Structure 1
Amino acid sequence: MVEKRGIGTIVMHLVLITGIVIVCFPIYLTFVGSTLTHFEIIRPPMPLVPGPHFIDNYARALTSGVHVPVGRMLFNSLVMAMGIAVGKIAISILSAYAIVYFRFPFRMLAFWAIFMTLMLPVEVRIVPTYEVAASLGLLNTYSGLILPLIASATATFLFRQFFLTVPDELLEAARVDGAGPWRFFKDILLPLSLTNIAALFVILFIYGWNQFLWPLLITTKPEMNTIVMGLKQMMPIADDYGNWPVTMAAAMLAVLPPVAVVLLMQRLFVKGLVETEK
C-alpha cells in the first residue's frame, strides 16, 4: 500500500522542523560558546562553529565554580532529584493503594485533603515549611533538600485512577491463592504500574532537578548548593565580564542528566502516558 503524502503533511513537517530549530538553536549556541575563549564570545560576531577548547573549558567547569566545583553541585542536584522522584513515587503509590483497597473511616476525606494540596504550591507554604525544617535541624542536609518536597498529590491521584481500572477479579484471585495485602501489591499491582512509575519518574526527576527557591532557602553552606543555584552565581553582575566559556560549559553539564533520563526512559515514558490497556 502506497501512502499518499499531501501538501498538508509537508507543511506539518516544515512547521515541526522549524519549531525544533528554534528550540535547539540557543542550546547549540551555548555548546559553541562552551568551546571558545572568553574574548571570542564577547567580541561580535560570535562564531557559529565549535572551537578547539572543549576539553579545557569542561575540565575547568567541573573543577571550578564561584564557591564550590560544578561537579559537587551536580552531585547535590542528582541526589536531590533522585530523592524527590523516588520519595514522591513511593509515598504516592502506597497512599493510592491504601485509599483504593482498604476500607477505613474518612477514606475519601483523606483523599480529597491530599488532592486539595494542589492548590498550595511550594511558594505559598515555603515559610512554615522552612520553619519546620529549621527546627528539626535539616538545614544544609540532603534530608532538608528532599523531605519537604516528597509529598505529591498529583502522583497520588494518578495512581488512584489507575488502581480503579484494575479488574476486581485480580483481587479475588489473589485472595483465593492466599495472598495478603502486601503480596497483592508487590506481585500484581506493582508490575502493572511500571509504565506509570516510569512516566512519573521522568516528570518528577526534572521537577526536582530544576528546583531553585527551596534549595536557596534551605542551604547556607556553599558545598550544599545545587547546579541551578551555581549557574545563577556564575552569571556576571554589573560590569563584571564573568567567565562565559566556563559558565556555558556548566550550563551544558546541567542539561545532560535530565536529557539522559528522558532518553533512557523515553519508551516507558510515552507508554505510561498513552497506554490505556495494561
Structure 2
Amino acid sequence: MTTRDREQTTDAREQTVSDRLPDDLLMHVGLIGSIGLMALPLVLAAVMSTQSVAEIYDVTNLSPGSEAYQNYYRVMTDFNMWTYLINSTIMAVAIVVGKVGLSLLAALALVYYDFPYKNAAFVFVLFTLMLPVPVRIVPLFELMVTLDWTNSMLAITAPYLASATAVFLFRQHFMSIPSSIVEAAKLDDVGGIHFLVYVLIPMSKGMIAGISVITYIYAWNQYLWPLAVISSRDQQVVQVGLKSLEGTAAAGQIEWGLIMAGAMIALLPPLVVLIVLHKPLLETFGVQQK
C-alpha cells in the first residue's frame, strides 16, 4: 500500500468517526442523564440519612451531614431493626427455597409426565396470575386464623410458595432440553426425582439463580400481607418496621434522617443479591422475552 493510499484510508476512518461521533455522543449523554435521574432519589436518601433534623429542613444543604453514625446506630439499636432484618431474611430465603422447589416439581410433571387434562392444569396455573395475594387477603387471613398460623413465619411464607411465573419459566426451559437426554434417562431407567436432581437442575443453574433473585427481592419488599397477619413487633418484617420510624419526632419535626437511614439499611440485602447474581437474572429475562 502506498503512502497516498494510507492517507486516504486514514482520512476515510477519521471521516467515519466524525460522522458517527454526534450520534454516539448524544446517545451516551442521554444514557448518563437517564441513569443520573433514576439514581437521584437514592443519592438524596443516602445524603439525608447522614443529616440532623436541622440540616434536613435546610433545603439549601445538599452535603453529607454530621449525624451519620448516630442515625444508623439509633435505627439498629433503638428501633429493633436487627430483628426486622433477620425476620425478612428468614422469610425471603424460605419463600425462595419453597417456591423454586415446588415450581421445579410442577414443571417436571407438566413436561415429562402424561396425565389427564395436563394442558388444562397448566392453563389453570397461569390463570392464578390474575389472583395476586392482595386480592385474596381476606380469605387468606381467615385461613391463617383457622390454622392458628397468625403471628408466625408460616403465615408470611406459605401464601407465596406457589408461583405460576416460575412454573411457566421452568416449563419453557425444560422443553428446550434435547430429547436425546430424556431418552437416555428412560433407557437407563432413571426415576423422575433422580432425573430432576442429577440432570435437570445442573442444566438449569442459571434459570434457578435468576428466578431466585426475582423471588428474593419480591419477598423482601412485602408489606401489606405481613402488616395484616403479624401483630407482634418481634415477628414483623423490615418493610413494616420502616413504617414505625415515621412516628419519631424531634421538636415536633419528623426525623427524616432516621427514616432514610432505615431505608438505606433495608436496601442493602436485596442490592447485594442483585449485584452478585445479576448475570443469571438477565439470562432469565432473555428467556422470558423469547
Residue equivalent to 1:27:
42
Larger Rg: 2
Question: Does the residue aligned with 1:151 lie in a helix, a strand or coil?
Answer: coil
Contact 2:48 2:260 in 1 (8 A): yes
Residue equivalent to 2:8:
none
Residue 167 of structure 2 is aligned to residue 156 of structure 1 = yes
Contact 2:55 2:65 in 1 (8 A): no
Aligned with 2:141 (options 130, 144, 150): 130
Contact 2:53 2:255 in 1 (8 A): yes
Residue equivalent to 1:181:
192
Residue equivalent to 2:69:
55
Question: Does the residue aligned with 1:235 lie in a helix, a strand or coil?
Answer: helix
Q: CA deviation at 1:275?
A: 6.0
The CA distance in 2 between the partners of 1:233 and 1:90, in whole Å, is 34
Residue equivalent to 1:14:
29
Judge which range, 250-259 or 79-88, deviates more: 79-88
Residue 251 of structure 2 is aligned to residue 229 of structure 1 = no
Aligned with 1:166 (options 177, 183, 192): 177
Contact 1:196 1:273 in 2 (8 A): no
Q: CA deviation at 1:78?
A: 1.4
- Cα-Cα RMSD: 2.0
The CA distance in 1 between the partners of 2:286 and 2:41, in whole Å, is 30
Q: Judging changes above 3 Å, is the alpha-carbon distance between structure 1 residues 18 and 177 closer, same or farther for their aligned structure 2 residues?
A: same
Q: CA deviation at 1:240?
A: 4.4
The CA distance in 1 between the partners of 2:147 and 2:207, in whole Å, is 34
Q: Which has the higher helix share?
A: 2
The CA distance in 2 between the partners of 1:9 and 1:196, in whole Å, is 34
Residue equivalent to 1:146:
157
- The sequence identity of aligned pairs, in percent, is 38
Residue 286 of structure 2 is aligned to residue 271 of structure 1 = no
The CA distance in 1 between the partners of 2:50 and 2:244, in whole Å, is 21
Q: Which runs of 5+ in 1 are unaligned?
A: none
Residue equivalent to 1:43:
58
Question: Does the residue aligned with 2:201 lie in a helix, a strand or coil?
Answer: helix
The CA distance in 1 between the partners of 2:104 and 2:217, in whole Å, is 19
Output one character per residue of 1:198-233: Cα deviation in whole Å (capped at 9) or x when no partner: 111111111111111100111011112211112222
Judge which range, 232-241 or 48-57, deviates more: 232-241
In the alignment, residue 249 of structure 1 is paired with which amino acid? A
Output one character per residue of 1:120-164: Cα deviation in whole Å (capped at 9) or x when no partner: 111211111111111111111111110011110111111111111
Aligned with 2:265 (options 253, 262, 265): 253
Aligned with 2:98 (options 74, 87, 106): 87
Contact 2:100 2:208 in 1 (8 A): yes
Residue equivalent to 1:102:
113
Residue equivalent to 2:4:
none
Judge which range, 200-209 or 238-247, deviates more: 238-247
Q: Judging changes above 3 Å, is the alpha-carbon distance between structure 1 residues 26 and 143 closer, same or farther for their aligned structure 2 residues?
A: same
Contact 2:111 2:175 in 1 (8 A): yes
The CA distance in 1 between the partners of 2:215 and 2:239, in whole Å, is 16
Contact 1:234 1:242 in 2 (8 A): no
Contact 1:32 1:49 in 2 (8 A): yes
Residue 218 of structure 2 is aligned to residue 207 of structure 1 = yes
In the alignment, residue 56 of structure 1 is paired with which amino acid? Q
Q: Judging changes above 3 Å, is the alpha-carbon distance between structure 1 residues 77 and 108 closer, same or farther for their aligned structure 2 residues?
A: same
Contact 2:152 2:235 in 1 (8 A): yes
Output one character per residue of 1:40-92: Cα deviation in whole Å (capped at 9) or x when no partner: 112332x2222343222211111122xxx111111111112222222211111
Q: Judging changes above 3 Å, is the alpha-carbon distance between structure 1 residues 214 and 275 closer, same or farther for their aligned structure 2 residues?
A: closer
